[in-house]
Amino acid sequence: MKILCNEKSQVLAGKTALATGLELVATDFKKFPDGELYLKTGKTDEETVIISSVTDSDSFIQTLLLADACEDSEVTLVLPYMGYARQDKRFNEGEAISARAIARALSEGVSRVYTINTHETDNLSFFRVPAEDLSLAPYMGEYIKTLGLDDPLILAPDAGAAVFAKSVAEKVHFDCDHLSKTRHSGTEVTMQPKELDASGRSVVIVDDIISTGGTLATASKMLMMQGAVSVHAACVHGVFSGGGYAKLYSAGVKSIVSSDTIESASSRISAAECIKNAVLS
Ligand code: R5P
């Protein structure tokens, strides 16, 4: 079994190769003057693991091309970040169900798929091959432990992320809750922990995705007003679009961590061990 990766997942693929002892096969990537992509991989094996986050159009095309290049191999596709997963329904007539379109296209030429904390696990049924979602929640809990915070409170920014927050907190025995929103008027909304009191505590807000940072920045400001000692942010997929980092720091967040499903300066939690456990099982 060998490993291949697209350009967006080179560091994670390297770490996975080290963790598994499998060979990471180098690939040449090129872009033609008209913008079309080309790639050529080294020699693959009977079984190949493609580690390939889809964060934009080029990384999506590279994922398709990698699967095509491995046509004589049995391919396991690992999508550390599956972009387009948030449009998982048709909210208005005429809309594309983007998650379905991406999943169907990426099923071509592969035998199984692993996603990691994908936005909505119902999306797994859109793949035309067996698909499973892996979770970095326990790794996030272990990372938060290394921050050395005194009795931290793990908070989900909304009820939808509460299950994720619970699985981050439970193995490391931290308290956990989620924020609930109260609308006071058309413009005034407050957020506070549903059950617990954040006052006097170090809080870590955890979410699957930080995109613009808007959700966590608002939550952070509210928690500081409620007397939190410090607020930290942790997510699996750090998209950080539109000035996301600056928005969080200016809202008073003391530290930001994400995983390497999207490689960035804040990628201090690695998905490599989690991928290793899945592909070698
Ligand atoms: C939403 O359902 C997700 O779990 C995140 O809460 C959301 O994507 C965060 O977006 P932003 O960082 O732009 O507020």
* Beta strands 230-238; 202-210: pairing state: parallel
pLDDT digits (tens, 9 = 90+) for 155-174: 999 999 999 999 999 989 99
Residue ranges in the chain modelled with pLDDT below 50: none
Q: Are strands 153-156 and 202-210 parallel, antiparallel or unpaired?
A: parallel
Tell me what percent of the residues of the chain surpass a pLDDT of 90: 94
Ligand 1 geometric centre to CA of 157 (Å): 9
- Beta strands 175-183 and 189-193 are antiparallel
Nearest one of 66, 41, 51 to 9, comparing CA atoms? 51
CB 44 within 8 A of CB 70: yes
- Taking only the tens place, the pLDDT of each residue in 92-107 is 999 999 999 999 999 9
> Which residue's C-alpha comes closest to atom 1 of ligand 1?
209
Which residues touch 38 (CB under 8 Å, ≥6 apart)? 29, 30, 31, 32, 65
Q: What is the pLDDT of residue 252?
A: 96
Domains and CATH numbers, the chain: 2-135+270-279 (3.40.50.2020), 137-260 (3.40.50.2020)
CA of residue 158 to ligand 1 center, whole Å: 10
Nearest alpha-carbon partner for 271 in 279, 256, 259, 258: 259
Residue from 181, 194, 221, 247 carrying the catalytic annotation: 181
pLDDT at 189: 75
pLDDT for res 219:
94
